[in-house]
Copies of this chain bind each other. A is one copy, B any other.
Amino acid sequence: MSTYHAPLQEMTFVLNELAGLAQVASLPGFEEASPDTVNAILEEAAKFATNVLDPLNSPGDREGATRLPDGSVKTPAGFKDAYQQFIQNGWNGLTKNPEYGGQGLPQLVATPVEEMWHSANMAFDLCPLLTQGAIEALELCATPEQKATFLPKMVDGTWTGTMNLTEPQAGSDLAAVRTRAVPQGDGTYKLYGQKIFITYGEHDYTENIIHMVLARTPNAPEGVKGISLFIVPKYLVNADGSLGARNDVQCVSLEHKLGIHASPTAVLAYGDQGGAVGYLIGAENRGLEYMFIMMNLARFSVGVEGVGISERAYQRAVAYARDRVQGKPIGLDKGSGTIIEHPDIRRMLMTMRAYTEAMRAVAYVTAAAMDNARRHSDSDARKRHQVFVDLMIPIVKGWSTEIAQEVTYLGVQVHGGMGFIEETGAAQHYRDARIITIYEGTTGIQANDLIGRKTARDGGATARAVSDDIDKVAARLASHREPELRSIGVRLAAATAALQGTIDWLVPEYGKNVRVAHAAAVPYLKLWGLLVGGWQLGRGALIASERLSAGEGDGDFLRAKITTARFYAEALLPQAEALAQSITEGSDAALALTADQF
């Protein structure tokens, strides 16, 4: 069996060389993020991931979460204890406001840590991930009293949080939310309705669960402009902070899912026994706006899930390929006899590796921009970074999650017949990964955001500016003295040109034929992801080459960075032109049948 080991050398390279940790640590309020502190955090997180979370992943999948007849939910053996260790070690509040007990570290530092949790046990980490979303909503929009009541215990993990958006008729379309919130005249509301797909909506980790719930007040406007956000605690909280009465919210069932079995996905019934007490957050009818504020972080985190689960699948595949003896390696006189010698296995492992490194670099660079957008001392710089973040969020979410499907697919394939057998573990990654292109907005939703708000709205200005930056890196690579780097540069330049052509097509098409533009949205998102992945690997290759020339660093590691970037450029980047052609020439035909002809 393969054991997860955090790829610390690679993470550190990306943090320092590509994402600019030193610059982020120089931002106001991030002084704590010194190299030594960050290294210590990563090493401790790596141990926790390897020793506590990873060993529970497979048993947790087999046992799953169970709803008991009384409506309570039992998580798999060991999970509750792991959660207690997790919060006692302070992992819950890494980036949270020190005012409420958090450690106030940059998102950039939290990102590799989150990646480790997702690698080791994605089903476990969904609980802190959702709590983080709830904390974000409260911090941004709640009253001082609400913050004082809920935030300290949510930041330290004594209580967890959930996000209650979906209803049976309201999935991607939150305009259809029907849960009702009736004001009681005392500043509180009573909520009535059913929410589905609520991750960790019920569990046994903590004494209380704080639900963030979208609902409509009486006479609220139709559609998305009539949705408000409420706090609905599982147990009411007394003035002294102690727990009061059980609130009228019940877990009525758990979903039977393809993956993430250890994570309870609840159907929650509000108000069946008279009304669930809720507290309005911010102003009435502005709930969706608040949700979108925290959604950006949640979407980023789901993208990081894509990185984490890909890394885990890659490590498991490498371990199997090193161990499994089968067949004579073609064209080798001798060798270990293990399947890692087979060319096709090599191609699969290189594909998994190159994509995972690319996704990681893109995610960490985006995290650094998030920190700069919040904390940079110069307001123009903050804006500039925010514009980049806005462009990148749908890409990090949409592309990394789609690529994680391919990587976990290859992870199964490397195992051959054993990949289809559940005990091997490869199939679990494949199943677990399948949700991430769906929740927090499907790939289609991300892509619609990317073509509309992020590309067409400013006439393609941001998209072109970023692609110009990529082109500069491509030019440096293409004129490099080393042939490997030149090869990367040539392909990166071609892919950038392909993207620029699609931007030139998309912006007017969005005005003229908005349906055709939307039919192009997902391939456009995939093209962006492919290209920004090549961009960051190209930057990494340039830096690795400099280090090697200077005689610095671990030569073996740095040479592997260059080779991996070259594989990405030569074997994967050619897809860019195919995607561009499919976008500009294949989107019309996608709409050419009538609905009846299907």
Contacts and interface: CB of A to CB of B under 8 A. Distances in A.
A232 interface: no
A586 B570 CA distance: 4
B344 A519 contact: yes
Contacts of A172: 326-327, 416
A398 B178 CA distance: 48
Contact of A519 (B322, B343, B418, B590): B343
Contacts of A564: 593
Contacts of A166: 417
Contacts of A375: none
Contact of A326 (B171, B331, B346, B575): B171
B582 A570 contact: yes
B563 A592 contact: yes
Interface string A514-536: 11101101100000000000000
A443 interface: yes
Interface in A333-379: 336, 340-347, 349-350, 353
A481 to B, nearest CB: 19
Contacts of A421: 255-258
Given A330-B518, A416-B172, A582 B574 contact: yes
Main secondary structure of the interface of A (DSSP, over half): helix
Given A347-B519, A431-B258, A595 B413 contact: no
Interface in A122-163: none
A518 B341 CA distance: 12
A590 B349 CA distance: 9
Contacts of A336: 595
24 contacts: A166-B417, A173-B326, A258-B422, A322-B598, A331-B518, A336-B595, A343-B519, A343-B587, A349-B598, A350-B590, A350-B593, A412-B434, A563-B589, A567-B589, A570-B582, A570-B588, A571-B582, A571-B586, A571-B589, A572-B582, A574-B585, A575-B578, A575-B582, A578-B578
Given A567-B586, A572-B582, 13 more contacts: A172-B327, A175-B327, A176-B326, A258-B427, A322-B598, A346-B590, A347-B590, A413-B437, A416-B438, A556-B596, A571-B582, A571-B585, A575-B575
